[in-house]
């Protein structure tokens, strides 16, 4: 069996999804996701210029060797662009492999450990009451878990993940358009004084059963994060996400000495070498890597298995930074992984997205059910794709009030 060609597409409804389609001499194709927020044309060029010519003629069934060929062959190790590109190839090859077997991908991992995988939605509000509305919307939709973010009174600009609107028709206040990033002002003191009380009010309003998650987006220093984690302990969060800067694998030690709040980290990691110490030292409870940013299924499985040895559960990233192809790959891992925790869920469900990426995966009562179609169980409609093209966009940056650049 041989790879005969591979195509790269950029675009999608409201997002610059980067899609790889690998074709074979047996008429079977595989799909991969190389989307990376704000740098989409670069993964597309990497695929087109370096990867596609090297794929032609290779046997797609040798996915491990092909992964090693690109990873070691790049000489320079890791990095988000390279690992995202390798991920797209890897997903496509596992898709092909499972289609050859005539099995849904999860069967190649070891079958199902559960029927539906728990997901969490993003509830956000310009202020706390607006956030309460947004949480109610998702609870009414059957979600059992929600991530909650709201504007902080007095904060000079919208802080991370805050939106306004009603129900599903909410828009982020932050403007992501254009190549020059918008700048927002962050004030740690205002946040630390306000957010623990706001989280406590949410718990009071929604009762003990709702799983409440909160994302700090790497904005606190280790001592501040320890103080914050202690303060929110009575809320019984499902997790506190990214409390400390992500680059420092030791930063959570202080927090761990002072709090038992479950910690989730990892959406910005791109290899096992970014989280092996965090996992081995049991400094986290959930690992948040995304299959599309961490070298694909082959590499993600190594992380999942390492995590399982240390009681760390999965909580794969699922922001709109990933196309439904990555979400499908994660859905197969989620139904299999013995140490599955929860899945962030935002992408599937809009009619435009479903038309571009048809699938039978579905969400019901806050659980994600994976399709039994052979492979990843997702397709890509090239005619639909022709409607879309690249639109420049970027994530904002955050500064302190005195101008110091901070973590976004």
A 10 A CB-CB count for 396 gives 18
Residue least distant from ligand KDG (Cβ):
319
CB of 215 to ligand KDG, least distance (A): 5
CB distance 398 to 408 below 8 Å: yes
**400-406: long-range contacts (C-beta < 8 A, 24 or more apart)?**
400/185, 400/186, 400/187, 400/188, 401/156, 401/185, 401/187, 406/186, 406/219
Q: Which of 46, 71, 143, 160 is catalytic?
A: 160
Residue 133, token pair as written in the block: 């509305």
The span from the CA of 259 to the CA of 93, in Å, is: 42
- Of Mg ion, ligand KDG, none, which one does residue 313 interact with (CB within 5 to 8 Å by kind)? none
344 binds, among Mg ion, ligand KDG, none (CB under 5 to 8 A by kind): ligand KDG
Q: Which of residues 331-350 bind ligand KDG (CB under 6 A)?
A: 344
Using the rule CB under 5 A, is 215 a contact of Mg ion? yes
As a whole number of angstroms, the distance between CA 157 and CA 150 comes to 12
Which of the residues 172 through 201 are near ligand KDG (CB under 6 A)? Answer: none
- Tell me the residue length of the chain: 408
SS3 362: strand
Check residue 267 for interaction with ligand KDG (CB under 6 A): yes
- Look up residue 385 and give its DSSP letter: H
For the chain, what is the radius of gyration of the CA atoms? 21
CB of 36 to ligand KDG, least distance (A): 8
Q: Residues 321, 330, 373, 407: which binds ligand KDG (CB under 6 A)?
A: 321
Q: If binding is defined by CB under 6 A, does position 319 make contact with ligand KDG?
A: yes
Decide if residue 384 touches Mg ion (CB under 5 A): no
The CB-of-229 to ligand KDG minimum distance in angstroms stands at 17
Q: Which does residue 379 bind out of Mg ion, ligand KDG, none, counting CB within 5 to 8 angstroms by kind?
A: none
| Residue 5, CB-side half-sphere exposure with 13 Å CA sphere | 3
Q: Please, which residue, 95 or 344, has the CB nearer to ligand KDG? A: 344
- Which of 5, 19, 11, 52 is closest to 386 using CA atoms? 11
Min. distance of Cβ 240 from ligand KDG in angstroms?
12
| 90 lies in the binding site for Mg ion (CB under 5 A) | no
Which of 204, 201, 210, 83 is CA-nearest to residue 142?
A: 210
DSSP class of residue 9 equals E
Query: DSSP class of residue 63?
Result: H
Q: Kindly state whether residue 37 participates in binding ligand KDG, applying the rule CB under 6 A.
A: yes
CB of 178 to ligand KDG, least distance (A): 16
Closest CA to 32 of 7, 62, 57: 7
- By CB under 6 A, the residues from 215 to 244 that bind ligand KDG are 215, 217
Should residue 224 be labelled a site residue for Mg ion when binding is judged by CB under 5 A?
A: no
- If one asks whether residue 344 binds Mg ion (CB under 5 A), the answer comes out as no
- List 29, 122, 214, 217, catalytic entry: 217
Q: Which is nearer to ligand KDG, 358 or 393 (CB)?
A: 393
Are 324 and 89 in contact, with CB atoms under 8 Å apart?
Answer: no
Alpha helices in 103-147, H assignment, sequence order: 106-109, 128-140
CB of 344 to ligand KDG, least distance (A): 6
For this structure, is 217 an active site residue?
A: yes
The listed partner (Mg ion, ligand KDG, none) that binds 321, CB under 5 to 8 Å by sort, is ligand KDG
| Residue ranges binding ligand KDG (CB under 6 A) | 37, 215, 217, 267, 317, 319, 321, 344, 395
Chain residues that interact with Mg ion, rule: CB under 5 A = 215, 267
Which positions are annotated as active-site residues? Answer: 160, 217
């Amino acid at each position: 069996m041989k790879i005969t060609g591979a195509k790269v597409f950029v675009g999608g409804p409201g997002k610059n999804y980067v899609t790889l389609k690998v074709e074979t001499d047996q008429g079977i194709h595989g799909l991969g996701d190389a989307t990376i927020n704000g740098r989409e044309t670069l993964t597309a060029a990497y695929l087109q210029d370096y990867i596609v010519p090297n794929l032609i003629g290779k046997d797609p069934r040798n996915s491990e060797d092909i992964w090693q060929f690109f990873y070691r062959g790049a000489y320079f190790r890791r990095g988000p662009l390279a690992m995202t590109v390798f991920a797209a190839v890897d997903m496509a090859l596992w898709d092909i492999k499972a289609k050859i077997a005539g099995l849904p991908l999860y069967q190649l991992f070891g079958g199902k450990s559960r029927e539906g995988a728990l997901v969490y939605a993003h509830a956000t509000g310009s202020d706390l009451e607006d956030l309460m509305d947004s949480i109610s919307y998702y609870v009414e939709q059957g979600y059992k878990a929600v991530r909650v973010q709201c504007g902080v009174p007095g904060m000079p600009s919208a802080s991370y993940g805050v939106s306004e609107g009603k129900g599903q028709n909410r828009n982020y206040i932050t403007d992501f358009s254009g190549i020059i990033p918008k700048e927002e002002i962050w004030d740690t003191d205002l946040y630390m004084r306000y957010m623990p009380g706001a989280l406590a009010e949410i718990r009071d309003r929604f009762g003990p059963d709702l799983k409440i998650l909160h994302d700090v987006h790497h904005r606190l220093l280790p001592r501040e994060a320890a103080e914050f984690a202690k303060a929110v302990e009575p809320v019984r969060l499902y997790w506190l996400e990214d409390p400390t800067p992500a680059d420092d694998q030791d930063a959570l030690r202080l927090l761990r000495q002072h709090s038992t709040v479950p910690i989730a980290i990892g959406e910005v990691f791109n290899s096992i070498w970014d989280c092996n110490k965090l996992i081995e030292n049991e400094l986290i409870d959930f690992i948040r890597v995304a299959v599309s940013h961490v070298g694909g299924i082959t590499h993600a499985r190594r992380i999942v298995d390492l995590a399982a040895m240390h009681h760390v559960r999965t909580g794969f990233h699922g922001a709109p930074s990933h196309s439904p192809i990555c979400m499908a790959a994660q859905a197969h891992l989620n139904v299999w992984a013995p140490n599955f925790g929860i899945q962030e869920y935002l992408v599937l469900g809009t009619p435009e997205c479903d038309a571009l990426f048809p699938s039978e995966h579905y969400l019901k009562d806050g659980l994600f059910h994976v399709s039994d179609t052979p492979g990843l169980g997702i397709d890509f409609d090239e005619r639909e794709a022709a409607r879309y093209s690249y639109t420049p966009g970027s994530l904002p940056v955050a500064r302190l009030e005195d101008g110091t650049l901070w973590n976004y």
